[in-house]
Amino acid sequence: MSEVLARLDGIERRFGSVVALDGADLILRAGEVHGLLGANGAGKTTLLNVIGGMLRPDAGTIEVGGSVVSFQTPREAWTCGIALAHQHFALVPAQSVLENLALGLARGWADPVRDVRAKALKLMDRIGLRVPLDSRVDHLGVGDKQRLEILKALLKNPRVLVLDEPTAVLAPNEISGLFALLRELAAEGRAVVLVAHKLDEVLMVADRLTVLRAGRTVLSTVPGDYEIPDLVRAMVGADPVDAIAIGVDVEPRSTKREPGESVAHLDRVSVTGGPGVDLEEVSLHVYRGQVVGVAGVEGNGQRSLALLLAGRVSATRGSVTLPEGLGFIPQDRSTEGLIAAFDLTDNVALALHRVAAYQDGPWLRWSELTRHAETIHERFEVQATSTSVLAGSLSGGNQQRVVVGRELSIATDLLIAENPTRGLDVAAAAFVHDEIRRLVATGVGVVLVSTDLDEVLALSDRVFAMTRGRLLEVDEGQRSREGVGALMLGGAFAHA
């Protein structure tokens, strides 16, 4: 067997009362692409941050090249040959690509960018990833940001390259390009660690698999030793399996629900200058009793579409018809869906306080609001001792139960759900999917906007792809990852 580059043994890490890692082990060898699997909340990102020097473990050892190390900062990890490519948030938006590449590389009084430019150009030539060096990062698309993160890590010439969910923001054909690159890097004698929560993506490229569950390494194997159902069981244990959330056995919906009357209508609507990407001449009918799915790589206008349909932004041109009973599940539950410092009753009131039934002149009917919050607490099985618990103290899954419960209770005509399962564990994702199915059966129209293609395909009666602010309907025959993926990238040309 080839040389062991790094070995993590019995890593433990807590955040307050939450145990994120509880005895995680990982062995990385030269020349391998190592897939790190686990459902959301299994501790993958925490483990990566420990490898990369972002977090110090509470217990356990890290060995690099045979000697035990302890990283105070990420820089010390680089000097040991380990570099971490984050999801796209670890960039400085207001600085240039070059400055982002230089950050932390050059030290002291030196000109930070001079040497880095030549190095970056050489690296980009060699591996074929290109990012415009003089652009400001906030002008880049998400795909470019992800490529920049990978370049940033490779510029440290690491022996161990760690990638945190690099595929989440890439289109299907971009993903295969990335995987080819990872194979090449491994062939040069590096170890590449790839994290994803979709099983079949990891199986496409990995030579070795490690499965984390509840902060613990439960399986370390090579692909082929285990059947997919066994891997799934390793990932989720006894939890109910939600095929969508872990990316196996996803079948596009074949049976179509009969559409009811039109409940929302966009007619050649454009939105410019809003918080998201501009929309151009978007038209859409939403019918009762059907799910409209909107797929697309992040940053193509889905955010604007969701906010428009939810009545949160107004159209620059075109006409918008929306119903009264409208619920909206925004993508970021902790900053947009809930107020962490408010208790559950206040958070329920947040959406309901505008409903006339809960108002009495200038006053709010707090007893009604409290009763309603209690109903949601029970009906949606929110794990909280009472409705006066602060929302910020709940787990992500329970927070989403509050948001979903609240929005379902006002979505008597239309529900807009924007990435409703992002970051949720398998059980919570299954809950959200079940609730959406149940709601649509009662005759409510649903629009599901999601970057998770599998989720869109599995739940939707009609599928649209969003690309550069335009909305394109996907023909029935094209409803597959590959088909929709092609539309997502080149759709504008395909239709023109």
| Alpha-carbon span 231 to 237, nearest angstrom | 10
In b/e form, how buried is each residue of 294-332, taking b as 16+ CB within 10 angstroms?
bbbbbbbbbbbbbbbbbeebebeebebebbeebbbbbbe
Minimum Å distance from CB 285 to another protein? Answer: 24
| Alpha-carbon span 403 to 103, nearest angstrom | 39
Minimum Å distance from CB 325 to another protein? Answer: 14
Minimum Å distance from CB 383 to another protein? Answer: 16
Of 78 and 380, CB closest to another protein: 78
Contact 194, 202 (CB under 8 A): yes
Residue 2: burial class (beta carbons within 10 Å; 0-12, 13-18, 19+): exposed
| Alpha-carbon span 156 to 396, nearest angstrom | 35
Contact 52, 74 (CB under 8 A): yes
Of 158 and 491, CB closest to another protein: 158
Of 95 and 173, CB closest to another protein: 95
Helix residue spans in 321-449 (DSSP H): 344-352, 366-379, 396-410, 426-441
Minimum Å distance from CB 483 to another protein? Answer: 33
Minimum Å distance from CB 280 to another protein? Answer: 23
Minimum Å distance from CB 440 to another protein? Answer: 22
| Alpha-carbon span 400 to 432, nearest angstrom | 8
| Alpha-carbon span 5 to 287, nearest angstrom | 56
Minimum Å distance from CB 74 to another protein? Answer: 5
Minimum Å distance from CB 79 to another protein? Answer: 10
Of 74 and 299, CB closest to another protein: 74
| Alpha-carbon span 10 to 60, nearest angstrom | 5
Residues 6+ apart with CB under 8 A from 383: 394, 395, 398
In this structure, the chain runs to a length of: 496
Of 43 and 74, CB closest to another protein: 74
Minimum Å distance from CB 387 to another protein? Answer: 12
Of 119 and 353, CB closest to another protein: 353
Of 27 and 84, CB closest to another protein: 84
Of 400 and 460, CB closest to another protein: 400
- Sign of the Cα torsion 305, 309, 313, 318 reads positive
Residue 336: burial class (beta carbons within 10 Å; 0-12, 13-18, 19+): middle
Of 233 and 333, CB closest to another protein: 333
- Sign of the Cα torsion 64, 28, 168, 383 reads negative
Of 91 and 424, CB closest to another protein: 91
Of 30 and 90, CB closest to another protein: 90
Residues 6+ apart with CB under 8 A from 67: none
Minimum Å distance from CB 2 to another protein? Answer: 29
Minimum Å distance from CB 110 to another protein? Answer: 5
Residues in contact with another protein by the rule CB under 8 A: 15-17, 52-55, 73-76, 78, 84, 86, 89-95, 99-100, 102-104, 106-113, 307, 311-312, 328, 330, 335-342, 346, 349-351, 353-354, 359, 362-364, 366, 388, 403
Residues 6+ apart with CB under 8 A from 472: 464, 465, 466, 487, 491, 495
Q: How far is CA 100 from CA 74, 105, 117, 140, 213, in A?
A: 15, 10, 11, 13, 34
